[in-house]
Amino acid sequence: MDQRRTLRSSALALMAAALLASGCGGPGPGPDGDRDAAVDTAADAALRPYTTQKPVWRACGTPGFQCARLTVPLDYDRPGDGTIKLAVARKKATGPGKRLGSLLVNPGGPGGSAVEYLQLFAGTGYPAPVRARYDMVAVDPRGVAGSEPVTCLDGREMDAYTQIDQTPDDPAETRRLTDAFRSFAEGCAERSAALLPYVSTEDAARDMDILRAVLGDERLTYVGASYGTFLGATYAELFPGRTGRLVLDGALDPSRTARQVNQDQTAGFETAFRSFAADCVARADCPLSTGSTAQAADRLRALLARLDARPLPTGEPRRLGEALATTGVLAAMYDEGAWPRLREALTSALDGDGAPLLALADGYYERSGDGSYSNLMFANAAVNCLDLPPAFSSPAEVERASGAFEKASPVFGRGFAWAALNCAYWPSRATGTPHRITAEGAAPILVVGTTRDPATPYRWARALAGQLSSGTLLTYEGDGHTAYGRGSDCVDTAVNRYLLEGTVPRDGTRCR
């Protein structure tokens, strides 16, 4: 399991729900249209064939939605040398009230389909006052889903990859794991070589600016979750004068190295598991313990160790080993609403049936019943490995660092450490580096953090809000991944007021 996958938005929201343009009239001002328009540059002139294109909108998917294709340069350094077609969707403002422009949404990942997220959740699930005033818009980032997806392995190969033991106990198991990482990378190079160097977050942020111009908005209004916060912050860094109202929910800290990111997530999932365990042991149906959270953790570790030695039957050819079981447990950490399902799955596993935990893992990996996978995992690796230099360069480095990871999480630490080795074998050299993002000159940016968020630890939200010159931090004291639209009236009211009126909450506001 590639733990860096966990930077996406709520996995379970996309499973259940997860997880485009302005009106037909002429261009209108964005929500902050009274600000000076961005200065046209030579780079803008070179991109004018893209920013002046007229997309053809057609009905698609759920009634009320329209889809189109957006053409962008493959390489922004040579915008005339090749193009990519991006999938875009919108749901026009429903009224009443004056239209405020376009609201671009991204659910995270990297690799999550924004178009799917819009059609299954945001387009109908965002608060009605927001949908009334904004055209809801989404674009699948380059390399993702409908936007010329990165491809690496077929379904059979992915089944094998997801079952590889990621807590190797001897040199032979270590070789099998590193061979799997190499085979994954080689598959991506074989099937998507021409695209791999051009799927960075910076490339995707530049695509968003093309879309902003095509939609007729002077400034970008945006809600990004999880990895989508890094995408939004990168946009603000590149185009501070074109930022409108940006909401970054479940924030990443762009100053962290890949190793630090993985170790921070290790601690984040440990915090989330302790919260789950504390809730579990207070219930009569808890399969892990009726005593303490420490006992619950010990029993889970014992279960995973047994699965490492003897995988469980699942009613199909795949068996539930340690790797898939760990994925199933981690998938349920994204949303406390999944905790009852996890208790049932753990009960079944302890009784000898691995099917329920396997189903949780399959949902996380977006595996269909026919054995095929979405390209989410492929795009996730392609973007992450381009955005930051590898966390580790060799198994020996992992071994030296594994103690720190296990200290951060006695349950999950060793697996997280080994999963962070995947980018060491990537065919395209990283183009990004860890750095602070200040976005000097940007309009106010609202950063939202959840105190027990497993995938994007709360410390990252505090860090990003502190780095941004116009950042404001809104805190949700609770469980799960991200906060907006997850049941907190306090959070939703603050975000809605910002999107509709441009008023940010007082910095440091806390919601419970």
Q: What are phi and psi of 505, to 5 degrees?
A: -65, 165
From the candidates 453, 470, 488, 492, which is the catalytic residue?
453
Q: Which amino acid is at 214?
A: V
453 is catalytic: yes
243-249 and 220-225 beta bridge pairing: parallel
77 is catalytic: no
Asked whether the beta carbons of 235 and 431 are under 8 A apart, the reply is no
Residue whose C-alpha is closest to residue 162's, from 364, 393, 416, 380: 364
Q: Which amino acid is at 125?
A: G
Which residues touch 456 (CB under 8 Å, ≥6 apart)? Answer: 7, 226, 229, 250, 251, 252, 268, 449, 481, 482
From the candidates 113, 249, 253, 481, which is the catalytic residue?
481
From the candidates 147, 226, 275, 348, which is the catalytic residue?
226
Asked whether the beta carbons of 364 and 331 are under 8 A apart, the reply is yes
Please tell me whether residue 118 adopts helix, strand or coil conformation: helix
Our measurement of the distance from residue 307's CA atom to the centroid of its chain's CA atoms, rounded to an integer in Å, reads 29
What whole-number distance in Å separates Cα of residue 329 and Cα of residue 11?
12
Asked whether the beta carbons of 211 and 85 are under 8 A apart, the reply is no
Asked whether the beta carbons of 4 and 261 are under 8 A apart, the reply is yes
What whole-number distance in Å separates Cα of residue 106 and Cα of residue 343?
31
What whole-number distance in Å separates Cα of residue 211 and Cα of residue 51?
7
How many of the other CB atoms lie within 10 Å of CB of 20?
31
Catalytic machinery residues: 226, 453, 481
